[in-house]
Chain A
Amino acid sequence: MALLEVNNLEVRFGLRSGEVSALRDINFTLERGERLGIVGESGAGKSVLGFSILNLLSRPGYIAGGEILFEGRNLAAMSARELRSIRGNRISMIFQDPMMTLNPVLTIGQQMVECLRAHRKISQQDAKRIALQKLKQVYIPSPEKRFDQYPHELSGGMRQRIVIAIGLLMDPDIIIADEPTTALDVTIQAEIMDLMLELCERNNVALILITHDLGVVSQVTKQAMVMYAGRIIEQGPTREIINDAQHPYTQGLMNALPQMAIPGQRLNQIRGSMPPLQKIPAGCAFNPRCEYVMEVCRSQLPEFTSSGGCRVACHLVAKMKLEEAAAQRVEEAN
C-alpha cells in the first residue's frame, strides 16, 4: 500500500458568482521516503492541492469528490478530531512565509513545546529536550539561546529552519512544503534545500515540494508533476520531465527560463497568461496559448498518454504516439 494515494480528487470553490473547480482529476501516489515536486505557475492550483491533502481548505473551498488515502484511511472523509491526530503529527506542513507561520507573541520554545504536548503526553522537560534536539538537527547555532527568543529576533533563513524543526518535531511520515524558499535569498535557499534533503533522507520522510522553481524541483525531487489550470498535465520522473518534457506547456515553461536562451537574445516566451478558474476554455485548458493547437484541442479534454515513464495529457503527444505505434506495426509487418 502506498503511503499516500490521491484518487480523482476534485476541489471546488462555491463563490457568489457560481461554483468553480479549482482542482480536477488529481491522481498520484507517494511512497515512503519519496520526494515529489508539484510545479506550476500561480493559479495552477498547486497550493490548493497542498492544502487539500491535509483537508485544510476553508470555506468557500471544499473537497467535492475523490479520496485522499493516507495509509489506507481517507483524509477527505475524516472527522476534525481524527484529522487533528494526523495534522502536524503524521503529516506536517511548511509554508512559504515563516513570519506568518510562527506566532509572534510566543517564544520559539513555547511554540515547539506546545506542539509536542498537543500530540504526546510528555512532561515539559522531555518536550524541551526533544525540541532542543530538533533545533540542533536543523543546525541552529546555540539552540538553548534561540529556544527563549521570539521569531522577530531571528533572520529569515533562521526562522525557516525553526519552521522546519517544528515540522519535524513529531517525526512525521510526510512533509508538505509549499514554496518553502521563495521568500529567501538564493544562498539561504540553497542551504535550506540541502537541509531538507538531508533530513528527509536521514529520517526516511516523504516530501511533497510545491514550487514554481523548476531548478529547485530538478535538484530535490525524484518524481514531479506539472499543473495547469487545476489539472495535472504531465507527471513522471523528474529527470525525464526536465530533460525531455512532452507537454507543450512544460516545454514552454522550461524554454522560458533565461538559462535556456542565448544571452542577449530574446527569451522564448509563452504567449498569453493562465486563465482564471471561472474562464477555463473548453477542451485542453492550454489550447489558446499552445503553438501546436489542433482542432480537437478546442473541444475535447485530452486523456493521459504514456510516454516513457511519464503520463502526459496532450492530444498532440497522443497523436504522435499513435503514429509511432502505427509506423512500428508497419515495420514489423515488413
Chain B
Amino acid sequence: MTTTVPTTVTTAAESLVQIENLYKRFSISGDFLEQLKLRGGKLVREQEHVHAINGVTLDVRKGEALCVVGESGCGKSTVARTVMGLLSPSGGSIGYQGKRIDNLSDRQLIPYRRKMQMIFQNPYASLNPRMTIAQTLEEPVRFHNPKASAAEVRDKVYEVMQSVGIDPSWGKRYAHEFSGGQRQRISIARALAVDPEFIVADEPISALDVSIQAQVLNLMMDAQEKRNLTYLFITHDLAVVEHFGTRVAVMYLGSLCELAPTKTLFPSPRHPYTQALLSAIPRLETGRPGHIKLKGEVPTPVNLPSGCVFHGRCPHADERCKREIPQLIATDEGGQVACHAVEEGRI
C-alpha cells in the first residue's frame, strides 16, 4: 500500500460495500401513550433516543478483512446489522457494489442476501435447536437455488461440511450434540453454503476458548483464501484484529475515530482513544508497561456529548474539541483519523 491516501476514484473501483454517513437511532420511550407527558398543564409527546451510530462512513474493499473494534456500546454490532439489512438506517445509506441496498424491499434484497452472509457471536443461540445440522445447512441452499435437485443440495452441504471440518456423516445430529467450537464451524458452514462474496462476522470467536479460537480463525482465513471472501469482522479483541485484519476501524460511542491499515495502526496509533485502547491489551511480556488511564467512563449514547464524543475522557482535549465535531482527515501512514489534536499537530 502506498503512503498516499487513496482517492475516491480508486476506492470506488475496488470497494464492495459502501457505508455512507450512517446514522442509527433507537427509541427508548416505549409506545405512543408512554411518550405522552404533562408539561406545564399541556400534553406533549416526548421521545428519547439511543444514538447508536452517528455519521459513520466506511467502505469495505474487495478481498480484505475490515475489522471494526471498540468497546461495548460503541455501535459496532449495530453497524454489522445495518449493513446486513437486519436494521434499517435512520440516516445515510448502504451500498453494495455501488447499488444502494438499504431502501430495497425484502423481495428485492434476496439476490443480495445470497451474496452477503452473517456469522453471529453465540453459536448456541444462532442454530435452531429443533433442526438437524443437515436441515440447517440445506435450508439456505434450497431457498436460494429453488431449482436445485435434492442431489445437488446434498452435494453442496457435503462440500461445506467437509470444508469446515465437520464430518458430513454427522448431518443427522442436532446442534446440542456439538461442542461450542463445532457449532461455530457449523454456523460458518451455513454462511458458506450459498457461496457468498461478503461475510459479516459479529464477534464470531468471543464465546470460544483460546485453543478453539485459533481453530475457528484459521478456518475463516482458509475460507477467505479459497473462496475469495471479503470480511467485515466485528470484535473487541485487539490481538485477533492484529492478526486477522487488513484494515481496522476503531469506533467510540457511535463514531469512527480512526481507520487505518493494521500494519500501521498497531505500531503507530494516532487517535488518543486508539492509543489508550491498544495500551490496555494484556501482554505476555515481562513487566507491566503502564497503560494509558482514561478518566471517567463512556458517556451514555442517549445524551451525546457536544463536539468530539471522546473529549470528556481525552487527555488532549481543548475548547475546540468540546465545540466542534472532528472530521476524518488523512494521515501520512495511509489511514484516517478524526481528531482535532492530530489535525492541529498537537499530538
Contacts and interface: CB of A to CB of B under 8 A. Distances in A.
B228 to A, nearest CB: 16
A307 interface: no
Interface residues of B, number: 41
Contacts of A264: 221, 243-244
A37 B194 CA distance: 45
A155 B238 CA distance: 22
Contact of A218 (B217, B238, B282): B282
B146 to A, nearest CB: 37
Interface stretch (A16-24, A66-74, A96-104, A249-257): A249-257
Given A212-B210, A256-B211, A269 B262 contact: no
Given A263-B262, A268-B214, A186 B242 contact: no
B242 A41 contact: no
Contacts of A269: 211, 214-215, 218
Interface stretch (A48-56, A187-195, A311-319): A187-195
Interface in A196-210: none
A267 interface: yes
Which of B71, B209, B212 has the most chain A CB atoms inside 10 A of its CB?
A: B209
A215 interface: yes
Contact of A186 (B209, B262, B277, B286): B277
Nearest to A186: B280
Interface of B: 71-72, 179, 181-182, 209-215, 217-218, 221-222, 236, 238-240, 242-244, 262-263, 276-277, 279-286, 288, 291, 293-294, 297-298
B243 A41 contact: no
A257 B283 CA distance: 11
A274 B291 CA distance: 34
Q: Which of A189, A190, A194 counts the most B-chain CB atoms under 10 A from its CB?
A: A190
B211 to A, nearest CB: 4
Given A185-B72, A186-B236, A270 B214 contact: yes
A56 B343 CA distance: 56
Given A253-B211, A256-B211, 7 more contacts: A155-B298, A187-B71, A189-B282, A252-B211, A259-B283, A261-B243, A267-B243
A158 B291 CA distance: 19
Given A258-B243, A267-B217, A267-B218, A219 B288 contact: yes
Contact of A256 (B182, B214, B280, B282): B214
Contacts of B239: 257-259
Contacts of B293: 191, 194
Contacts of B222: 266
Contact of A193 (B218, B262, B282, B297): B282
B209 A215 contact: no
A97 to B, nearest CB: 13
A26 interface: no
Nearest to A187: B280
Nearest to B283: A215
A242 interface: yes
A86 B244 CA distance: 47
Contacts of B71: 185-188
A266 B221 contact: yes
Interface of A: 41-42, 155-158, 185-191, 193-194, 212-216, 218-219, 239, 242-243, 252-254, 256-259, 261, 263-264, 266-271, 273-274
B238 A239 contact: no
A158 B209 contact: no
A42 B211 CA distance: 11
A258 B240 contact: yes
A111 to B, nearest CB: 21
Contacts of B240: 258
A193 B263 CA distance: 28
Contacts of A215: 281-284
Contacts of A242: 284
Contacts of A187: 71, 276-277, 280, 291, 294
Contact of A41 (B182, B209, B244): B209
> Which of B221, B243, B262, B285 has the most chain A CB atoms closer than 10 A to its own CB?
B243
A258 B216 CA distance: 12
Nearest to A213: B282
Contacts of B211: 41, 252-253, 256, 269-270, 273
Nearest to B239: A258
Given A266-B218, A269-B211, A259 B242 contact: yes
A177 B291 CA distance: 22
B283 to A, nearest CB: 6
A214 B242 contact: no
A259 B286 CA distance: 15
A273 B281 contact: no
A289 to B, nearest CB: 8
B213 to A, nearest CB: 7
A256 to B, nearest CB: 4
A185 B236 contact: yes
Which of B210, B218, B238, B243 is packed against the most chain A CB atoms within 10 Å?
B210
